[in-house]
């Protein structure tokens, strides 16, 4: 087996297209995961049992079923109910929904980690509930959990190749299509592997530095 640099050059335009789709799915999925995870966490703290119970059931179900099953359900089953989205939109929603159940636990840990004195001070100052959350509790909680949330971004990046199963041509999808068309697998798959390393490893180092900065 010999390394074919011409194949690498031929594949690179497809790689850039796949990288753009991957980053798009990652960015939008992260926004959904972070926003919805915070909503789940806040709903789980409501005193109303009839709110906490359905949220708990839904999040446990999503967290304990494979992302691939959820992708297939959204992509193949929802159209039978006349609910259709593009393949990329379906993938973004699935990733965001799936990881929101994990970020929910991160937010909850951050909220519970806020010292009791902060709650007591807000009560002593007669701050409204909304003001207590937005000005006192959430800023401290989110600051504590930023590194953990970043770890889930890296995890989402590693799961983006699953979108290939619902026809989204992200990086691995482009590599697979190119390989099947040109009968060359080593070069495109190696490029994809190196790309994931070049993205995820520096990101992990950045998260470690950020964590050290935040815990000072």
Whole-number pLDDT of residue 146 = 87
pLDDT of amino acid 118 = 83
Contacts of 50 (CB under 8 A, 6+ apart): none
Task: Indicate the pLDDT class of residue 116, thresholds 50, 70 and 90.
Answer: confident
- pLDDT the model gives residue 216: 59
pTM as predicted:
0.91
- Give residue-wise pLDDT tens across range 12-25: 999 999 999 999 99
Q: Which of 192, 202, 160, 182 is nearest to 10 (CA)?
A: 182
State yes or no: pLDDT of 58 exceeds 90. Answer: yes
pLDDT of residue 214: 66
Provide the CA 169 distance to its chain's centre, in angstroms.
Answer: 18
The two three-digit tokens of residue 173, written as one number:
């999808």
Q: Tell me: the pLDDT tens digits for 159-171?
A: 999 999 999 999 9
Residue 81 banded pLDDT, cuts 50, 70, 90: very high
| 77: number of Cβ within 10 Å | 10
**What pLDDT, on a 0 to 100 scale, did the predictor assign at position 190?**
95
Confidence (pLDDT) at 205: 86
Structure tokens at 184: 């060359």
Reported as a pLDDT band with limits 50, 70 and 90, residue 113 is confident
pLDDT at 211 over 80: no
Residue 210 in this model has a pLDDT that exceeds 90: no
Asked whether the predicted pLDDT for residue 141 surpasses 80, the reply is yes
């Amino acid at each position: 087996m010999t390394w074919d640099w011409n194949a690498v050059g031929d594949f690179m335009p497809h790689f850039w297209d796949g990288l753009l789709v991957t980053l798009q799915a990652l960015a939008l999925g992260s926004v959904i995961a972070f926003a919805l995870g915070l909503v789940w966490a806040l709903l789980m703290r409501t005193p109303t049992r009839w709110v906490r119970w359905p949220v708990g059931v839904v999040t446990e179900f999503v967290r304990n079923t494979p992302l691939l099953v959820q992708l297939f359900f959204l992509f193949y089953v929802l159209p039978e109910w006349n609910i259709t989205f593009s393949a990329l939109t379906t993938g973004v929603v699935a990733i965001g929904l799936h990881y929101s159940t994990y970020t929910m636990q991160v937010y909850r840990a951050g909220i519970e980690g806020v010292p009791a004195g902060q709650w007591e001070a807000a009560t002593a100052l007669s701050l409204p509930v909304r003001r207590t959350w937005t000005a006192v509790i959430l800023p401290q909680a989110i600051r504590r959990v930023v590194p953990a949330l970043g770890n889930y971004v890296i995890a989402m990046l590693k799961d983006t190749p699953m979108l290939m199963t619902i026809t989204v041509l992200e990086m691995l999808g482009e590599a697979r299509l190119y390989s099947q068309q040109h009968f060359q697998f080593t070069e495109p798959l190696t490029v994809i592997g190196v790309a994931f390393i070049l993205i995820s490893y520096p990101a992990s180092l950045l998260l470690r530095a950020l964590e050290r900065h935040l815990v000072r």
